[in-house]
Structure 1
Amino acid sequence: MTPETRSQLPMASTGCACCAPAPALNQTVPTAETAPPAGTSTAYQVKGMTCGHCAQSVTEEVTALDGVSEVRIDLVAGGTSTVTVTAARPLSAEAVRAAVEEAGYTLVTA
């Protein structure tokens, strides 16, 4: 067997339960490398995410909502990140809030 090649993700300066402190990052984490799917896209502001693992947790919970076809995250470590959700039909803010909270983060209200 040949050894696996793995890329290390940069960690956030504030760290989280799964990461050690390191330089801050600002990256977009798409769920797929394809053309955006058709549907309704809505951007939500989420606090508390600090790394790729945090973004993955939110992506998994929000993707599980009925009708969601894509979740894109503009991660602002230690700040307010933008989570853009594309779905076949508009989602209730409460459903998205519940999914984000299930992942352990906070949906910011306007």
Structure 2
Amino acid sequence: MAHETLNVDGMTCGHCVETVSKAVSSIPGVSKVDVDLEKKRVTVDFDENQTALADIKSKITDVGYEVVGA
């Protein structure tokens, strides 16, 4: 099980938190998602045998936000 924290730009409200959380949670292998609006961070626990960090970043980008610093 992997544990990663991503910095995400573009999140400004509760709807953003819900959008990112639902999108990342829908990825097979993701077991936990925590979106911190104030710090603009997304923490994810996932099974590396089922998904890759690149897939998680791509999903966040697909729903309209930018993963920065990684």
Report the TM-score when normalising by structure 1: 0.56
> Does the alignment pair 1:89 with 2:54?
no
How far 1:92 sits from its partner (Å)? 2.5
Q: Which residue of 2 aligns with 1:42?
A: 4
Number of residue-to-residue matches in the alignment: 69
Q: Deviations over 1:6-26 (max 9, x none)?
A: xxxxxxxxxxxxxxxxxxxxx
Instruction: In structure 1, list runs of 5 or more residues that go unmatched.
Output: 1-38
1:86 & 1:70 partners in 2: Cα distance?
5
The alignment's C-alpha RMSD in Å is 1.7
| Larger RCO, structures 1/2 (Cα 8 Å, 6+ apart) | 2
How far 1:60 sits from its partner (Å)? 0.9
Instruction: In structure 2, list runs of 5 or more residues that go unmatched.
Output: none
Which structure dedicates a bigger proportion of its chain to strand?
Answer: 2
Which structure dedicates a bigger proportion of its chain to helix?
Answer: 2
Bigger radius of gyration among the two: 1
- Give the fraction of aligned pairs with identical amino acids, expressed as a percent: 33
Report the TM-score when normalising by structure 2: 0.83
